[in-house]
Structure 1
Amino acid sequence: MPTKPFPVLAFCALLLGGAAIGFAGIMMRLSDVNPVASAFWRMALAAPLLWVWALASAGGDRAAGLRTDYSRVLLLAGFFFAADMGVWHVSLHFTSVANATLLPNMAPLCIAAWLWFKYQARFSRSFLLGMALAMTGAVLLVGPSVGLGGTRLLGDGLGLLVAGFYAAYQLAVKDGRASYSTARLMAWSTSITALFLLPFALLMPGDFWPAGAAGWLPLLGLALIAQIGGQTVITYAFAHLPSSLSSISLLIQPLTAALAAWAIFGEAIGPVQMAGGAVLLLGIYLSKRGTA
């Protein structure tokens, strides 16, 4: 029996989407609103454009047998993404940025454990080696800045909780793509995420509204690059790739963030981080080989 060809286009789209999300932290640093407000505006500014796309493609969705109504999976995707972003911003108050960046990237372990527990999934040796290498590379990328002890224990615990929420979001999106188009799923989940984030954005210390017209530019960048150009492309790819491989491939985000911080802010990239980036890419490659 011939094997199904590996979806190369979807895999490339996933990597590009992950790279686009890697710029989110940069644009968040450039914004002049509080961190949760920047996450809210990322959703609120992207949602109208996504709804225009979703409504324009409704006829094609129905013709393809895809759903255009509302269901619980849409709520779950929005809730888990809001929890992911909201708890992550809270964790930043208790631990280092490096720790808060690293710990949520433990999501592949959560997804692999869930697939093994729920579906008795089996993974090839190449895939498991690739996952180990990719996560090791992520640790090396962030490792020089990671700290332990003190008041960071609570923040580190929240960071691990974020990993669980991010894994749950990815699984919800994977489930949703079985019956919804990318446009419909993203329009609903982005809108629901914005609604969940709004009260926390208003209550969090710091400005909710940008100080001037220039302050909207980083927020528009978050909406167009990270949410529409990043998450939307990732959502498309999730329909064609296994959840386990998708989660590991998204570890390209810290590599992109490190390169962007070096190019824009002049933040140094040392030999350990360079090695981490190379190990991470090798891990993604081996994971792909173990899945194809």
Structure 2
Amino acid sequence: MSMPSPTAVPVAAALRLRQQLALAALVLGALAIAFSPIFVRLSEVGPTATGFYRAILAVPPIWLWWRFMPALPRVAVAVGQSRPLPPLALILVPGLLFAGDLFFWHLAIKYTTVANATLLSNFAPVIVTLGAWLVLREKITGAFLVAMLVAICGALMLVGASLELGGTNVFGDMLAFTTAVFYGCYMIAVAKLRGRHGTQDLMLWSSLVTGIALLPMVWVMGEGLLPATLHGWLILFGLAWISQALGQGLIAYALGHLPASFSSLVVLIQPVAAAFFGWLWLGEGLQPLQLGGGAVVLLGILLARRAQLKAG
């Protein structure tokens, strides 16, 4: 029986540690973006304007991160030289996809119930899993598909008491599912680009492009752009710095080290945490069905983790 080389064990241990750190970052990122419904609810400007500020106010802290804590260079750059201009795909694709996600999500809330919009937008793992198989060439096992089904059933339970599919909500439901498509494609794009680019580069360009893309939509939707109070500005900065810069930044980092299909399931922690935060800060009640749904989502994530470890 052949023995492992002396370098194989340290490399394997380093890889496990890196994946564990990425998993922790993914969970923390999902918890950070779980604050976003709270901030949106408390915002003093319209939903599209709130999305614009979410992206554009995140640019300064991300720029500081990009400027003073650069990622390990994929391409060597001499001391004193500026970084080369990134490719057009890095500049445009993630930002435009995330702009579509925010725009259709906020529009869906206007034309359907919050419960419907929450459920249908959480079908993003289905989109990501399909894209991970087709684009990223990830191996998708039967055990993982079962885990995904369990997690999505948990999400259904989480909003099931308020679900009103069909009737006058059909248009809004279609918009909510469109949100899932945009966010799923965004995660695939980030996972694909993370193979060659750092988290800082991705977050800087995607946030900037998202903000620029949403600004004209604020005018199209007829929304005011300026909050009325200092409290309104603080809400927008909280949304930008916590949910966008921190939350999406941690998720983008994790996508460079974990399978996109698995990562999309872990992000389903977000609606579970959002329901808890809504109960804690907004006084929104939690029904037994919602509590059970949250537990089922977590069970699905644990099953997915086990399936991922076996596949690896």
TM-score, structure 2 normalization: 0.88
| SS at 1:147 equivalent | coil
Count the aligned residue pairs: 291
In structure 2, the partner of 1:182 is 199
- One-letter code aligned to 2:21: L
Letter in 2 for 1:26: I
1:24-39 matches, cutoff 5 A: 24-39=36-51
SS of the residue corresponding to residue 92 of structure 1 reads helix
Q: Which residue of 1 aligns with 2:21?
A: 9
Amino acid paired to 2:279: W
Identify the range of structure 1 (113-122 vs 229-238) with the bigger mean alpha-carbon deviation. Answer: 113-122
Supply the distance in 2 between the matched residues of 1:119 and 1:193 (Cα, whole angstroms). Answer: 24
Asked if the contact 2:43–2:50 (Cα under 8 Å) also holds between the matched residues in 1, the reply is yes
2:182 corresponds to which of 148, 165, 190: 165
**Offset at residue 286 of structure 1 (A):** 0.8
Gaps in structure 2 of 5+ consecutive residues:
78-82
User: Deviation at 1:33?
Assistant: 0.2
Deviation at 1:176, TM superposition (A): 1.7
Question: Per the alignment, do residues 118 and 214 of structure 1 end up closer, same or farther by CA in structure 2, a change over 3 Å counting?
Answer: closer
Q: Given the alignment, which residue of 265, 280, 288 partners 2:297?
A: 280
CA distance in 2: counterparts of 1:211 and 1:241, whole angstroms: 42
Question: Retained in 2: the 8 A contact 1:33–1:209?
Answer: yes
Q: Does the CA-based 8 Å contact 1:68-1:180 persist in structure 2?
A: no
Q: Following superposition, which runs of at least 4 residues in structure 1 exceed 6 angstroms of deviation? A: none
Shift of 1:206: 3.5
Identity %: 42
- Once residues 63 and 210 of structure 2 are traced to their aligned partners in structure 1, the CA distance between those partners, rounded to angstroms, is 14
Asked if the contact 1:73/1:175 (under 8 Å) is kept, the reply is: no
Query: Does residue 136 of the first structure (1) align with residue 136 of the second (2)?
Result: no
Larger Rg: 2
Q: 1:81 aligns with which of 82, 88, 98?
A: 98
1:42-81 aligned within 5 A: 42-58=54-70, 61-62=72-73, 65=76, 68-74=84-90, 75-81=92-98
Shift of the 233–47 alpha-carbon distance from structure 1 to 2, 3 Å rule, reads same
Residue 110 of structure 1: aligned partner: 127
Aligned to 1:179, the other structure's residue is in SS state coil
1 CA distance for matches of 2:228 and 2:294?
A: 37
CA contact (8 A) 1:79 1:192 kept: yes
Checking the alignment, whether the CA contact within 8 Å between 1:46 and 1:190 is kept in structure 2 is: yes
Supply the distance in 2 between the matched residues of 1:125 and 1:244 (Cα, whole angstroms): 13
Q: What is the aligned-residue RMSD (CA, Å)? A: 1.9
Structure 2 contact 131–185 (Cα < 8 Å) conserved? no
1:93 aligns to what SS in structure 2? Answer: helix
Q: Does structure 2 retain, via aligned residues, the 8 Å contact 1:28–1:38?
A: yes
Tell me, in whole angstroms, the C-alpha distance in 2 between the residues paired with 1:181 and 1:117.
23
Contact 1:68 1:184 in 2 (8 A): no
Q: Secondary structure at the match of 1:246?
A: helix
Distance in structure 2 (CA, Å) of the matches to 1:242 and 1:65: 27
| CA deviation after TM superposition for structure 1 residue 212, in Å | 1.8
Task: Choose 194-203 or 32-41, whichever is displaced more.
Answer: 194-203
The reply to whether residue 196 of structure 1 matches residue 208 of structure 2 is no
Give the whole-Å Cα distance in 2 for the aligned partners of 1:76 and 1:120.
20
Q: How far apart in 2 are the matches of 1:119 and 1:195? A: 29
Paired amino acid for 1:224: W
Deviations 1:4-33 (CA, angstroms, capped at 9, x unpaired): 637111111101100110110101111110
